[in-house]
Amino acid sequence: MSWPETTRRSAEGSLEFGGVSAVDLAREYGTPLYVFDEETLRNRARRIRDAFLHAYERSRLVYAGKAYLSPALMHILLEEGIGLDVVSGGEIFAGLRAGVDPAEMIFHGNNKSRAELEEAVAAGVGLIAIDNDLEIALLESVAHDSGRIVEVVLRLNPGVDVHTHHKMRTGAVDSKFGFPVWDSQAEEAATRIFRSPRLDLVGYHAHVGSQIFDPMLVARTIDVIMKFAGCVHRRWGVLPKVVIPGGGFGVADDASGADVPIDEWANAAAMAIERACRDQGFPPPVLIVEPGRAIIGPAGVALYSIGSRKMVPGIRTYVSIDGGMADNIRPALYGARYAATLANRDPAGEPLKRVTIAGKYCESGDVLIDNVFLPELDTGDLLAVPMAGAYCLAMASNYNLSPRPAVVIVANRSARLIRRRETYDDLLRSDVFDPPVSAARDDRRLSAKKGSV
Ligand SMILES: Cc1ncc(COP(=O)(O)O)c(C=O)c1O
């Protein structure tokens, strides 16, 4: 199970992260609260970066910002020499805000708009991963209008099926991402790009999915990419300067698993790329890997307060928390399985009971953890859920018009707020409506009561 590396129990029994007590954090910032441990974030980024550099000298690590792109957290990753994979104009904007050099960004997405491509080109984003025919035409036109030559990689659909949740597979035959390599589509796309005076085809990309635990799948993906690179080289003489086999390194979500061994992954990637270069006489390209979850997932913990409790005789006991699918939709979306522990007292030695942790939102499917063994939970107890750093806040919504949680970073016994809890005013900020005078008065009273941290 992936708790932050600094997780401890204090003498009083409270869980601590980065030397800061969960009880103090909840008191100061309220719950639900997302807590990121700076040491874990840095260590994980360094370990992945170093494993790849050790296995293959020409490696580069970029963080897949879709896992959770907070300027403050990204700034920490930047200090570790890590670039950024973005999938929208908003992520480019946040990356720039964090101080990322746009040349260190890779822009992905299966339906980038012209406006987003213009933003990327104007900002000087280093690489654009071309995903479809429309995009070739759009990007050509954007590059022409801006008078630039844009470096691109071609996103391939390698037809590599991985054994992960079907909603997390991106490289199987039936996928909306990339150009299929098994018919003429990818080669025709490469030809169009090669013929364009405005687009410079520097390499290839494929990302086959998330939560992958078998490193040989990355080797297979690289084999397919390099085979395709060989076809393009024979036809047009274009060498692959950059090869990107995506991210997707598996991380244990709950108590039952272990992370993928990153050295094995890096070695498998290095061996596949070196073998292909030897076979085809290519000079070694730059290898870029773009994990999201494996960097940020275990650095984050969600803290919730326990509220109501309901027993359905002979079936189950529901214990409700003050968050749920609006801050973490993964259990509802993917059936993702989480672990949890009591954060405000040490439950060691207490008998465990089987309960279902329910969210507070108006959906029966809003269940955070089904059938989990926990000590007796009382109203006001604090529940800590590990592995909450990835794809939770990134997919958070204001469902039921709920303000999204505050976010803090902990390090060296202190906490720093990096995102304040949303207020009711934030919820309606984008609505265009002039309230009647009386409603405006009530509205002011409510927002005055509901202060933010
Ligand atoms: C193109 C691309 N790269 C990298 C990732 C990161 O995946 P993960 O967070 O599983 O490492 C994704 C996730 O969807 C992706 O689509």
Judge whether residue 440 has pLDDT over 90.
no
The pLDDT tens digits for 15-35 are 999 999 999 999 999 999 999
CA–CA gap between residue 102 and residue 242 (Å, rounded): 17
**Among protein residues, the one whose CA lies closest to atom 16 of ligand 1:** 207
Among 161-165, 175-179, 338-342, name the one with the lowest average pLDDT: 161-165
pLDDT band at 256 (very low <50, low <70, confident <90, very high): low
Cβ–ligand 1 contact at 203 (below 6 Å): no
Among residues 231, 277, 362, 392, the one annotated as catalytic is: 362
Query: How large is the average pLDDT for residues 296-319?
Result: 96
Where are the extended beta strands (E) located within 149-198? 150-157, 179-180
Distance 109 CA to ligand 1 centre (A): 11
Distance 209 CA to ligand 1 centre (A): 7
CB 385 within 8 A of CB 319: no
CB 372 within 8 A of CB 332: no
CB 389 within 8 A of CB 299: yes
Nearest to 163 by CA among 216, 124, 119: 216
CA–CA gap between residue 96 and residue 145 (Å, rounded): 23
CB 98 within 8 A of CB 75: yes
CA–CA gap between residue 185 and residue 51 (Å, rounded): 35
Distance 293 CA to ligand 1 centre (A): 8
- Mark whether 392 is an active-site residue: no
Is residue 32 reached through a cis peptide bond, with omega within 30 degrees of 0 on the bond before it? yes
CA–CA gap between residue 131 and residue 86 (Å, rounded): 14
Q: What is the model's pLDDT at position 162? A: 60
Radius of gyration (C-alpha) of the chain in whole angstroms: 24
Backbone phi, then psi, for 150, in 5-degree steps? -110, 130
From residue 97, alpha-carbon distances to 36, 90, 142, 230, 381 in Å are 19, 10, 23, 39, 37
Query: How large is the average pLDDT for residues 70-85?
Result: 98
Distance 294 CA to ligand 1 centre (A): 10
Judge whether residue 254 has pLDDT over 80.
no
Q: 166: exposed, middle or buried (C-beta count within 10 Å: 0-12, 13-18, 19+)?
A: exposed
CA–CA gap between residue 453 and residue 445 (Å, rounded): 18
Q: What is the model's pLDDT at position 249? A: 92
CA–CA gap between residue 32 and residue 421 (Å, rounded): 9
**Among protein residues, the one whose CA lies closest to atom 8 of ligand 1:** 248
pLDDT band at 255 (very low <50, low <70, confident <90, very high): low
Cβ–ligand 1 contact at 337 (below 6 Å): no
